[in-house]
Amino acid sequence: MLTQEERPVLETPGEDPAPERKRPAFHLNRQGRAAHVFLIPWQLGFLLITAIPLFASLYLAFTDYDILNPPEWVGLENFQRMVQDEQFWAAVKVTLVYVLVSVPLQLGFALLLALILDRGLSGLAFYRSAFYLPSLLGTSVAIAILWREIFGDGGLINRGLALIGIDGESWLQNPSTALATLIVLNVWTFGSPMVIFLAGLRQIPDELYEAARVDGAGVIRQFTNVTVPLLTPIIFFNLILQTIGAFQTFTQAHIISGGTGGPANSTLFYTLYVYQQGFVAFDMGYASALAWVLMVAIAAITALHFLVSKYWVFYGDS
Amino acid sequence: MTGLDRRGFLKLALGTTAAGLSAAAVAGCGGSGGGAGSGGSGKTTLRYAWWGNNIRQQNYTKALQQFSAANSEIGIEPEFAEYTAFQERMTTQIAARDVPDIFWIASPQVMTYHKNKLYRKLDDIPTLSWADYSQQDLDTFKLGGELNTLPFGIFVPVIRYNETVAKADGVTFPAEGSGWTWDSLAELLVAYSKDNPGKRKGAAYLPDHDLTFEAWLRQRGEQLWTEDGKVGFTVEGVASWIDWWEKLRKAGATLSLSEQEGMGPDWALVGKKTLVAFGNSNHIIDDAKMFPKERFRLRAMPIDASAVDGHKYLYFPRMAIYQRVDDDKLEAAGKLLNYNVNTAEMLKTVRLTMGAPVNPKVAEASKEFASQDEKEMLAVVEKDRAAQRKPRYEAPPGSSTWRTTMARVCEEIALGRTTVPDGAKKLVEEITAGIKRAE
């Protein structure tokens, strides 16, 4: 596409160019106006559902607000309270461990499955749908029941262990293993990144593999020197999405711990703590401050990802 | 091409959008429910909000329909939710000033709503009768000296045991009286857990149960909350309670957290693994239905010889009329409250899941249609109601999460992550801090 500077200027021979009419700073032609008319529903939705609540929440973060009474300005008090709040730090720890462990595991598993499915299996559509199914179920109430049946005191795993003489305890009620069960749940819902990986793998030209084979590259070498480099934009995309999603994990922890974050805070995810403060303690000011800290943290980590991406993400045109 | 040019199309689009927005705005101004209030037909519509399980939802919906059928000038818009969701919805409704005309009050919110002047006074509504209540009853019902909420049930703390299993296993409970103490109960639970054919445990691990904890405190001269809205118990008081439970747990007389799948266990799960349950008197009605082949009995809480006078108490679930209710709805609202508490008709449909009737005449009348379990509950409440009782105070603003905090602390103690004294201290500090923030 030509830029504004590159466009040829059409002039009528023999005539002086017409004096340029000064346009107002904000000028829209008819098409522009039409576009804006059509955008009104979206703009209204954005304003009412996103922008206004967002800025209202920013204001509330600096107030003491219990919903029943008008907000009272308290300055930075809510943020200072976080520093002393043991529950806050417990929630930060749980969430960071979850993000750092579950995201790489989930992406690795999704990539592995995508590579297997990319090998021209018959019935690919079935497998793709079947593997995607857990992603749809991952945040449903049925999962709480399923997980109890698997990881509970008398669950599938303990019954299996009992066969070899091991008397296991509930994995969900042990603070050392409860978070691990949620990480397993997240890894199990690998369908979404898997589908994206699969689409990315399909974009890699066969000629590159042929060339690699001619040069004597084996399967592993082809994977590390062809697949991975060409898949880095997709890996990056999935990494960003899954990292943000992991920071915002709520439903699974809420369902499986009954909203408590137990046992002993071991599944107290950050968003669960925000919910507890906002909708159980009705401390909306503090909950808003917590939510803004999370948003800033996610923005900073995403920015860091982008910053580092130039060292490991390879785009076709670079 | 049709006759619609681009200008025409844009005008049409703009017009449609404007019309849609206007309609939405008008709808927004209309409040929820459409027909709420007195309509042109002269019918008054009341919004009635309550919580519970699906059985209670069905029963109350049916009872409210029966009320409407008998009072054709009054329509009811039911607003039901599960307990936690109910509280969340109430809070947002309060923020939007869109509160139901009549609503049940969750126990942690009683004084919070009172502080925020959500309740309309009830002693000037001609259709709501107070004639059956004694002056002592009315004084007990008041909040801050005002008769602005209506207790509609009575719970008392109880020990519930599985009589069928007890008989089969040869367990004899000490008779109520001087032999029915906390120590004798603990001994029984430990001995039973060590040797019974079904490998049951004495009880589930429930140190976070509020009513039984309050009974323990009051016997020791402490209370849950003070009249001026502070924590009414000491670190030593709560520590002694948790310690009693810890001794049971360590002796193998309670289920482990693993066996009961965490704090606040599901009765369907622990009912088949235990002999005794610590709970509210009204729970027998729904809980016993889960084990229809077994008979459950209720006992008053054990009492030590050192228990102070007046330790017995009654817990009232309450309902209220919204402060901003239209004056022309008051008469209908009074009728509906009357139907809730001053007649036995509604109870025949909704049963006694919300406790023994507060109205003494209704309580007496309900014995005629009460089931075996309901009679058991009525009897135990009647005894405590007749006993001498010191005043009891509701949870102050800022304490709404105290039970969650207590469950967390007890869990940490049971998991060996903190000691009983440290946990008790932490519990009192956290609850105190919450109340202070709300002041």
Residue B138 Cα to chain centre, angstroms: 20
Task: Please give the backbone phi and psi of residue B103, each rounded to the nearest 5 degrees, phi first.
Answer: -145, 145
Amino acid identity, position B418: T
Sign of CA dihedral A169, A174, A176, A179: positive
Amino acid A119: pLDDT:
80
Q: What is the pLDDT of residue B394?
A: 92
Q: What is the pLDDT of residues A212-267, one digit of tens each?
A: 999 998 999 999 999 999 999 999 999 999 999 999 999 888 888 888 888 989 99
Residue B373 has a pLDDT of: 95
Q: What is the SS3 assignment for A149?
A: helix
CA angle (A270 as vertex; A267, A274 as ends), nearest 5: 115
B:45-104 residues touching chain A, CB 8 A cutoff = 84, 88, 91-92, 94-95
Burial of A303 (0-12, 13-18, 19+ CB in 10 A): exposed
Q: What is the pLDDT of residue A91?
A: 96
User: How far from B421 is each of A308, B182, B241, B394, CA to CA, in Å?
Assistant: 49, 20, 11, 26
Asked if B261 lies within 8 A of A173 by C-beta distance, the reply is yes
Q: Which CATH architecture fits A85-312?
A: Orthogonal Bundle (1.10)
Average pLDDT, chain A: 87
Q: Is B434 near chain A, with CB under 8 Å?
A: yes
Q: Which of B6, B258, B409, B417 to mutate to test the interface with A (most CBs of A within 10 A)?
A: B258
CATH superfamily name and code, B37-154+315-385: Periplasmic binding protein-like II (3.40.190.10)
The answer to whether the beta carbons of residues B334 and B259 sit under 8 Å apart is no
pLDDT in tens, chain B (439 residues): 444 455 554 455 445 444 444 444 333 333 333 344 444 557 899 999 999 988 899 999 999 999 999 999 999 999 999 998 898 899 889 888 899 999 999 988 999 899 888 999 999 999 999 999 988 889 889 998 899 999 999 999 999 999 999 999 999 998 888 889 999 999 999 999 999 999 999 999 999 999 999 999 999 999 999 999 999 999 999 999 999 999 999 999 999 999 999 998 999 999 999 999 999 999 999 999 999 999 999 999 999 889 999 999 999 999 999 999 999 999 999 999 999 999 999 999 999 999 999 999 999 999 999 999 999 999 999 999 999 999 999 999 989 889 989 999 999 999 999 999 999 999 999 999 999 988 8
Q: Do domains B37-154+315-385 and B157-311+398-438 have the same CATH topology?
A: yes
Among candidates B10, B259, B263 on the partner chain, residue whose Cβ is nearest the Cβ of A262: B263
Predicted confidence at residue A6, as pLDDT, reads: 46
Domain assignments of chain B as residue spans, ordered by start: 37-154+315-385, 157-311+398-438
The separation between CA B273 and the C-alpha centre of its own chain, rounded to angstroms, equals 25
Cβ neighbours for B281, distance < 8 A, ≥ 6 positions apart: B154, B155, B156, B157, B158, B298, B355, B356, B377, B380, B381
Q: Which chain A residues are closer than 8 Å to B92 by Cβ?
A: 67
- Structure token pair of residue B99: 């509160």
Q: Write down the pLDDT at residue A135.
A: 81
Residue A248 pLDDT: 93
Contact yes or no for B210/B410 (Cβ under 8 A): no
Q: Which two tokens stand for residue A223?
A: 């994977």
For tokens 């954005």, what's the residue? A46
Distance CA A97, CA B135 (A): 60
Does the CB of B438 have a partner CB in chain A at under 8 Å? Answer: yes
Give the chain A residue nearest B85 (alpha carbons): A279
Please give, rounded to a whole number of angstroms, the shortest distance from the CA of B198 to a CA of chain A: 16
Alpha helices in B266-399 (DSSP H): 267-270, 283-289, 330-341, 345-350, 360-366, 372-386
Alpha carbons A135 and A147: distance in angstroms, whole number: 15
- Write out pLDDT tens, residues A140-152: 777 777 888 899 8
* CATH code at B157-311+398-438: 3.40.190.10
Between strands B102-105 and B44-51, the pairing is: parallel
Task: Identify which of A240, A218, A257 has the alpha carbon closest to the alpha carbon of residue A302.
Answer: A240
Sequence-separated (6 or more) residues with CB below 8 Å from residue B288: B294, B295, B296, B373
ipTM surpasses 0.95:
no
Structure tokens at B162: 């599985």
- Distance of alpha carbon B372 from the chain centroid: 22
Position A15 pLDDT exceeds 80: no
Please report the pLDDT score of residue B329 as a whole number. 93
User: What gap in Å lies between CA B346 and CA B369, rounded to an integer?
Assistant: 12
C-alpha span between B335 and A288 (Å, rounded): 42
Tell me which residue has tokens 């009705």. A282
CA-to-CA distance for B439 and B427, rounded, in angstroms?
A: 19
Phi, psi for residue B324 in degrees, rounded to 5 = -95, 20
The angle that helices B235-250 and B210-219 make with each other, rounded to 10 degrees, is 120
